[in-house]
Structure 1
Amino acid sequence: MAARSKARKRALDLLFEAEQRKVNALELLRERLASPVTEAPLNEYTVTLVEGVVDHWRDIDEAISTYAHGWTLDRMPAVDRAILRLGAYEVLYASDVPEPVAISEAVALATELSTDDSPKFVNGVLGRLLEVKPTLL
């Protein structure tokens, strides 16, 4: 697995864990930076992703809610919410990542970690965000 793919997976793990534990994702990130729970320290890109998602949380959630037709954030599986937040951050705000790569990586995470229907759902929502990106920013 490529370094950025691993960084995305670890960012996803942190976002998911923070939501499940009902703690602030930045606080959890700081905790993990100070006291790592794995042998390898957090990748710099993992930190960038978590900080970016948190910095744009409201706008990301609003965009996902708007374009996930028929699905509220609360109704989505928690892992899909985290994947969509991460993917939306990369599609909308990460200028160093080609948008199709961001979508592909999010779909790969959904394929690996979520339901059979999740990859198609994630692809559809993020694809729509990419289409309307000029109107969102």
Structure 2
Amino acid sequence: MSTAKKTPGAKPSNPGTRKSSTKSARSRAREFALQGLYQHFVGGSDVAVIDAFTRELQGFNKADSVHYDALLHGCIELAADLDALIVPLLDRELGQISPIEHGCMWIGAYEFLKCPDVPWRVVLNECIELAKDFGGTDGHKYVNAVLNGIAPRLRTVEVEADRAAKA
């Protein structure tokens, strides 16, 4: 327990992060999937090895393991399809994208494709938060731009209805 005094009204030192106790099981699943995808990008490890390692990490028991499985395995299995959605929206080569941003984009594109129960805005917001929490300073802006470009193609009806309601 910290003994430091908190100034009333002071903002947390890292306002982009959410307290882990308030994160949903699906948010946690996305975090663990992102960690696994990072290992995939950087180390090239086999998905079964990554999966086994990740399941042993502290806090995994609080994650939605079914959603984690879908994200980790699904993103790796559909890698070429996900990259085909992402690449046309990039302003640089795919190899120049950080593994964190790439993983966030994969998770977002995968959920747009395969998780119709998750509203498109939730997918977008969750991936932006992942990029804020784990990525570089402005990486979340890049993830936002790319996923906002993909969403209308994969969730046309939902995105149009949402935008029409706001107009």
How much has 1:28 moved relative to structure 2? 2.0
Aligned to 2:84: 62
Match for residue 22 of structure 1 among 44, 63, 80: 44
Seq. identity, %: 25
Runs of 4+ in structure 1 off by over 6 angstroms are none
TM-score normalised over the length of structure 1: 0.85
Correspondence 1:30-69 to 2 at 5 A: 31-32=52-53, 36-38=56-58, 40-41=60-61, 43-68=65-90
Aligned to 1:132: 153
CA contact 1:110–1:118 (8 Å) conserved in 2: yes
The alignment of Structure 1 onto Structure 2 pairs a total of residues equal to 132
How much has 1:116 moved relative to structure 2? 2.0
Q: Distance in 1 between matches of 2:66 and 2:58?
A: 15
RMSD: 2.1
Structure holding more helix per residue: 1
Which structure has the bigger radius of gyration?
2
- Does residue 2 of the first structure (1) align with residue 24 of the second (2)? yes
Seen in structure 2, the aligned counterparts of structure 1 residues 109 and 134 have a Cα distance that, compared at 3 Å, is closer
Unaligned 5+ residue runs, structure 1?
none
How much has 1:53 moved relative to structure 2? 0.9
How much has 1:39 moved relative to structure 2? 6.1
- Does residue 121 of the first structure (1) align with residue 108 of the second (2)? no
Aligned to 1:82: 103
Correspondence 1:88-107 to 2 at 5 A: 88-107=109-128
How much has 1:7 moved relative to structure 2? 0.6
Unaligned 5+ residue runs, structure 2?
1-22, 157-167
The residue matched to 2:128 in structure 1 has which SS?
Answer: helix
How much has 1:104 moved relative to structure 2? 0.4
How much has 1:96 moved relative to structure 2? 1.7
* Cα displacement string for residues 39-98 of structure 1 (whole angstroms, at most 9, x for unaligned residues): 644622111111221232111011111112x12210011111111111110122212211
CA contact 1:26–1:54 (8 Å) conserved in 2: no
